[in-house]
């Protein structure tokens, strides 16, 4: 999963609450958000359940992106993940759901956090895209959870888009293999923050 602090800072800045906005406007926005999130809220697989990321999920986001194994794939080298950055990423994940009624989910086995996976708006090589993104906590890896999360995400993607895109670091062999098994094919590449990303896509038509 690529960092929400990179491309996402451009895409989701429009969803960040504006200080001083009127109470009536906020109430209407909150009501709309609840209606939209209700469209595609909970999702379950044989072992996992996924739900939208909420504004109060900073601890879960910190647990995910606070691990070096995830950060090295998800964000540029040297990027400092401060407490404020974790809070900002959490708000933006929640804002994607509030604005669209779909987005990345946090996934759990019972009450234990496993990872994050879902669809998100992105800009890939200068073009708007619906991107699939995912990350699994190190302790939960090698148990097939990523496959389970991606399969569930793709099963509902047809209601959102006709094509799902993905961007994966060239040397991230595990993610490349997983996406290939899910029917993605490479269609190009791009450089972001000095690192080469392979661009993949899967048609849903």
Degrees (nearest 5) of the Cα angle 93, 68, 142? 85
Q: Which of 32-36, 66-70, 142-146, 151-155 has the lowest mean pLDDT?
A: 32-36
CA 153 to CA 199: how far, in whole Å?
19
Report the percentage of the chain scoring pLDDT > 70: 80
* 171/24 Cα distance (integer angstroms): 49
**Tens digit of pLDDT for each residue in 156-169?**
999 999 999 999 99
Task: Convert the pLDDT of each residue in 78-99 to its tens digit.
Answer: 888 999 999 999 999 999 999 9
User: Averaged over 39-56, what is the pLDDT?
Assistant: 90
| pLDDT single digits (tens) 119-152 | 999 999 999 999 999 999 999 999 999 999 999 9
Beta bridge partners of 46: none
CA 39/CA 34 separation, integer angstroms: 9
Query: Which run of H or of E encompasses 147?
Result: helix 145-157
Give the residue, 30 or 184, on which the prediction is more confident.
184
Residues pairing with 127 in the sheet: 124
Domains of the chain are 7-16+41-203 (3.40.630.30)
- On the question of pLDDT at 5 being above 90, the answer is no
First to last CA, the chain: 25
Question: What are the backbone angles phi and psi of residue 9, rounded to the nearest 5°?
Answer: -60, -30
Q: Rounded to an integer, what distance in angstroms lies between the CA atom of residue 135 and that of residue 125?
A: 22
């Amino acid at each position: 999963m690529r960092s929400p602090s990179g491309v996402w800072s451009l895409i989701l800045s429009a969803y960040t609450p504006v200080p001083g906005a009127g109470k009536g406007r906020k109430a209407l926005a909150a009501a709309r958000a609840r209606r939209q999130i209700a469209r595609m809220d909970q999702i379950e697989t044989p072992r996992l359940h996924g739900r939208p990321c909420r504004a109060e999920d900073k601890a879960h986001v910190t647990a995910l992106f606070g691990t070096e194994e995830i950060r090295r794939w998800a964000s540029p080298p040297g990027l400092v993940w401060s407490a404020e950055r974790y809070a900002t990423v959490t708000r933006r994940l929640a804002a994607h759901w509030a604005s669209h009624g779909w987005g990345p989910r946090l996934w759990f086995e019972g009450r234990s956090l496993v990872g994050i996976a879902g669809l998100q708006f992105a800009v890939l090589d200068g073009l708007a895209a619906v991107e699939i993104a995912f990350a699994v906590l190190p302790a939960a890896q090698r148990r097939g959870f990523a496959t389970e999360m991606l399969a569930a995400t793709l099963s509902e993607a047809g209601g959102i888009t006709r094509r799902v895109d993905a961007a994966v670091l060239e040397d991230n062999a595990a993610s490349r293999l997983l996406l290939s098994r899910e029917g993605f094919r490479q269609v190009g590449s791009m450089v972001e923050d000095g690192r080469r990303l392979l661009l993949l896509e899967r048609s849903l038509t």
